[in-house]
Structure 1
């Protein structure tokens, strides 16, 4: 196993690296061992980079310098172990045995999650949790390494970093082929729920039930694949970069990651969204026979798209935006919202660049996103045979953007007992050119988008974003 991250700056000191296993409940002597073949939806993400997220929490100033180690950290560890009772695959590994047609998510007795405890000696807590432009690399030391080799990769690793008398961060790295964003945040909410509301969680025999909305549904057999798409995708992967390639991870050398990016967060209030909605309605001709779906998602993504294209001074003929659609409710039969695994399909909105930068750019972008969404009417699996081999021909577009996350996850509600997050950052988008989308920390139905750009481009984007609203 080896690290897949660049070396940590000296501002963060590792205090401890330990293992946290699912704690057997008082009623069950053990967590069941499990091996689950990945589904066709999981395979779409097999060789994508892991997803890295940092949650920043402020704690009230205290005269007790030991409160973090005496109170906060023990509760976080104990509640994590209890949460893994329900989310036990996250303590396991993704492997591809020689005798298996597809990769396997494996959990066995004794498997556990790597938990790194660290301290920051940098006086930058306020800076990291602000809405100012922050150097993207300053978040990197808050993410732990993921244990990875070609044959095996851990499902998850966690790092808790203490900022003296200010707060702490929780950095999580997850392999995307194990679960999607909905379930990743569901796990996080469950952990917060148990930590905040659990009583007696430091008892070695504790167990704690979760409300139904936080309980994962683990039956991967619920995903039906009558057309054998999973086998098709697996064969596509086996033939990539040589015969019988059973690698379960994709590593890009750190040197290819831009090191001079800044991160910015921008908010759409409900009033902003309504302004955009009114603008589209006013601009769209009454005779247009296809009424547009003017949702918060469509409008927010469309406006962000046109601002990015203008800020980047994109000159090519066509620009694309990729986004995921949760299809749990669209399957036949549907699967529960709490289904543990991946259940999203990608959709690609394509528009003429000159149209996006023109006077009616917002309408052009909204129509492109609507058209991509409307393709779901042809069925969830329309064109699915090409999703791995030829999902997107990058040569067709001068620039491709992608959306990660959803405002529906309500991630800013995750209170472990010391208040809501001051800030949440999707750190891995430094490497993927993605735009994060989530509910706003300010509440009120607002949403926020985050991105990592070079500073001059970010300044232009910020100006365009504010001016247009």
Structure 2
């Protein structure tokens, strides 16, 4: 069913921290530089109006509260207000903040009555594009954060957030969202005194000097970017090959319930004879299903997943470290084995092997990562986004939990997203975009395969 995607832009704000701060430069570590020209991360949070709140309160209460709380939040998250640059006099890219910098905050209103359709488990990719805020990215400079709030009259609203991956990883951007929701909910409670400090688990740690690099990973990553279409290419433009929206696609959300996960684990234990995690069986199952549906022509299929390194470094850092602190792991399997009946076990064994190698050090041979990924580019490349540990369905700005959370950036990259189940029952919600024919095949196979275990 086709749906109109027309939109009225009501207001375009620039939101800054409430108090002027001094100019600050934040260096990019090798964890950040890895993502320098990869696509931004986009997420949409859909909220239904409370029964007592309709369109009028959106402009009179919701938008002012979101703006005010955003300003209060940004004073704790200054890197999000700055811009990524790569000055000629600097060997590495940096985030540069100067007083007067601000975050783009767009307020829009949809002319469509498709709120419930957009919140459903299946919808056309093109129907959500107008809800996604854009970063300002040129060869010389890139903004870090952009926000858009869109009203669906008499139904609800959508908060869109786009972040530059070279500035923050998913854990950090989610911490920002939770802090913004914390301040907004306090304003919504009409407290006379809004807290100026944050709970310890939401206080960002901004000192990037805690990231050590004894093996020269930073230099290796910098050289790779400089020599890409180089020499001395300091462009910050996103790779064109993976930044285009595939408009003829359908976005689907699927749930692996706790009973599904236990079934997968039981089957896995009968084959691999080692303890398996929810993450590993979920990814292995999705890889086997996707390979059977897509039937890649490449001899090998590559799978990339990221590991949070905060507790895995030789000198562990705080869980609230703000920036990137994830490092990719690569799994390569033969396509003809993956599409067979035991493709789930083949994928699982590859993931287990990659996880076991972490015992040698999470950054072992990290300086070779760029060349590894370049060698895998010729294969069908799958990857993940998000994590059930982010608990995105608990982000409440004061008007209730989100009805749906959609990682729209995977529509471009071909990744699949993972989050906790919106039912808060221990299940895993999976998001992916496929063309219509593939989506129909995946729907059938996803449920059929589960029944066969």
Structures share fold, TM-score greater than 0.5 = yes
> Do the aligned residues in 2 keep the contact of 1:93 with 1:154 (CA within 8 Å)?
yes
Aligned to 2:94: 104
Aligned to 2:12: 17
Aligned with residue 54 of structure 1, among 27, 36, 44: 44
> Do the aligned residues in 2 keep the contact of 1:261 with 1:454 (CA within 8 Å)?
yes
Aligned with residue 135 of structure 1, among 97, 121, 124: 124
Distance 1:124 1:113 in 2: 28
Distance 1:10 1:436 in 2: 24
Aligned to 1:165: 154
List per-residue Cα deviations over 1:223-274 (Å, max 9, x = no partner): 0112232123212212221222111231528995322000001101111100
Q: Alpha-carbon deviation of 1:144?
A: 1.5
Q: Alpha-carbon deviation of 1:38?
A: 0.5
> Do the aligned residues in 2 keep the contact of 1:78 with 1:201 (CA within 8 Å)?
no
Q: Alpha-carbon deviation of 1:324?
A: 0.4
1:440–1:199 CA distance, 2 compared to 1 (3 A): closer
The reply to whether residue 264 of structure 1 matches residue 252 of structure 2 is yes
> Partner of 1:393: helix, strand, or coil?
helix
> Do the aligned residues in 2 keep the contact of 1:189 with 1:414 (CA within 8 Å)?
yes
Aligned with residue 36 of structure 1, among 5, 8, 26: 26
Q: Alpha-carbon deviation of 1:33?
A: 2.6
The reply to whether residue 276 of structure 1 matches residue 264 of structure 2 is yes
Q: Which runs of 5+ in 2 are unaligned?
A: none
The reply to whether residue 194 of structure 1 matches residue 183 of structure 2 is yes
Q: Alpha-carbon deviation of 1:395?
A: 5.5
> Do the aligned residues in 2 keep the contact of 1:414 with 1:421 (CA within 8 Å)?
yes
Q: Alpha-carbon deviation of 1:381?
A: 2.0
> Partner of 1:171: helix, strand, or coil?
strand
Aligned to 1:75: 65
The reply to whether residue 405 of structure 1 matches residue 386 of structure 2 is yes
> Do the aligned residues in 1 keep the contact of 2:269 with 2:275 (CA within 8 Å)?
no
Size of the aligned set, in residue pairs, is 447
Normalised by the length of structure 2, the TM-score is 0.94
The reply to whether residue 370 of structure 1 matches residue 352 of structure 2 is yes
Distance 2:347 2:242 in 1: 33
> Do the aligned residues in 1 keep the contact of 2:174 with 2:390 (CA within 8 Å)?
yes
Distance 1:317 1:240 in 2: 26
List per-residue Cα deviations over 1:135-157 (Å, max 9, x = no partner): 01111100122112111111111
Q: Alpha-carbon deviation of 1:60?
A: 2.8
Q: Alpha-carbon deviation of 1:424?
A: 0.7
Distance 1:187 1:116 in 2: 18
Distance 2:161 2:328 in 1: 24
Map residues 428-443 of structure 1 onto 2, 5 A cutoff.
428-443=409-424
Map residues 272-351 of structure 1 onto 2, 5 A cutoff.
272-284=260-272, 291-351=273-333
1:88–1:183 CA distance, 2 compared to 1 (3 A): same
The reply to whether residue 231 of structure 1 matches residue 219 of structure 2 is yes
Distance 2:306 2:249 in 1: 25
Distance 1:153 1:63 in 2: 37
Q: Alpha-carbon deviation of 1:391?
A: 2.6
Distance 2:53 2:201 in 1: 38
Distance 1:33 1:199 in 2: 32
Distance 2:382 2:102 in 1: 36
The reply to whether residue 182 of structure 1 matches residue 171 of structure 2 is yes
> Do the aligned residues in 2 keep the contact of 1:51 with 1:174 (CA within 8 Å)?
yes
Distance 2:96 2:190 in 1: 27
Q: Which runs of 5+ in 1 are unaligned?
A: 1-8, 25-29, 285-290
Aligned to 1:3: none
CA RMSD of aligned residues (A): 2.0
List per-residue Cα deviations over 1:374-393 (Å, max 9, x = no partner): 12122122221222344341
Aligned with residue 466 of structure 1, among 438, 443, 447: 447
The reply to whether residue 447 of structure 1 matches residue 448 of structure 2 is no
Please identify, of 438-447 and 60-69, the stretch whose mean Cα deviation from structure 2 is larger: 60-69
> Do the aligned residues in 2 keep the contact of 1:321 with 1:402 (CA within 8 Å)?
yes
> Partner of 1:226: helix, strand, or coil?
coil
> Do the aligned residues in 1 keep the contact of 2:82 with 2:144 (CA within 8 Å)?
yes
Q: Alpha-carbon deviation of 1:317?
A: 2.8
List per-residue Cα deviations over 1:293-322 (Å, max 9, x = no partner): 411100111111101011112344321211
Aligned to 1:87: 77
> Do the aligned residues in 1 keep the contact of 2:40 with 2:163 (CA within 8 Å)?
yes
Normalised by the length of structure 1, the TM-score is 0.91
Map residues 408-427 of structure 1 onto 2, 5 A cutoff.
408-427=389-408
